[in-house]
A and B are shown apart, each in its own frame.
Chain A
């Protein structure tokens, strides 16, 4: 069965960097586009970034462009998100999500359980 397991979250000081990981299993990871979505405590969902199945294309939300970098290692079945210059408003649960196709199509058929990032001094 499809499994996505995020890791790398925790309490981080403002201005520091963090790399989140998402380990995928149960499907051919290299055949699917992948996304990161976050949810601040008690708030709604915010799409952050997408990466094509082969890493050839990446798109970001305007709110994180320049600070966040999505990447993947298909040999390790792992998706990453590098977050630099962390701010208090980056505090959220970060989800990785599988796109419905390699294209990718732009909606998410499987989600991980999320990893909480708390930015605080």
Chain B
């Protein structure tokens, strides 16, 4: 299995802040990484795929970067609607399984 480690697990921030979440893979996954946003009681929503491609309809304040084993999700200016939990997910190989990071909860400071 490929392990995905997200940091931090919790992040306190204010509206307007620039926020960065990191995701590390236990082995190289090239750019096969997606990011999701999940709000309480709701299904996850796709934000970013292939490490840096913005899903249609997702605000441009969200961006992704990285390749190999280290990736980041950045929210350039945090909005009230962005308080949620964020997950990274690798999709390098079905034979090794698809795996999610443990999640990062973005809370109001």
A interface, CB within 8 angstroms of B: 35, 44-47, 50, 59, 61-62, 95, 100, 105-109, 111-114
The answer for the CA separation of A13 and B102 in the assembled complex, in Å, is: 29
B contact patch SS? loop
Cβ-defined partner of A47 (8 Å) among B43, B46, B55, B98:
B98
Cβ-defined partner of A114 (8 Å) among B43, B89, B102:
B43
| CB <8 Å contact, B43 and A106 | no
| CB <8 Å contact, B43 and A107 | no
Task: Pull 29 A–B residue pairs with CB atoms less than 8 Å apart, ordered by A.
Answer: A44-B87, A44-B101, A44-B102, A45-B87, A45-B89, A46-B100, A47-B89, A47-B100, A59-B94, A59-B97, A61-B98, A62-B1, A62-B97, A95-B43, A100-B49, A106-B32, A106-B94, A106-B98, A107-B34, A107-B46, A107-B89, A108-B34, A108-B36, A108-B44, A108-B46, A109-B55, A111-B43, A112-B43, A114-B43
Return chain A residues, CB-CB under 8 Å to B92. Answer: 106
Return chain B residues, CB-CB under 8 Å to A108. Answer: 34, 36, 44, 46
Interface size class of B (residues with CB under 8 A): 20 to 34
Top 8 A-B pairs ranked by shortest CB distance?
A106-B91, A111-B43, A107-B34, A59-B94, A47-B98, A45-B100, A44-B103, A107-B49
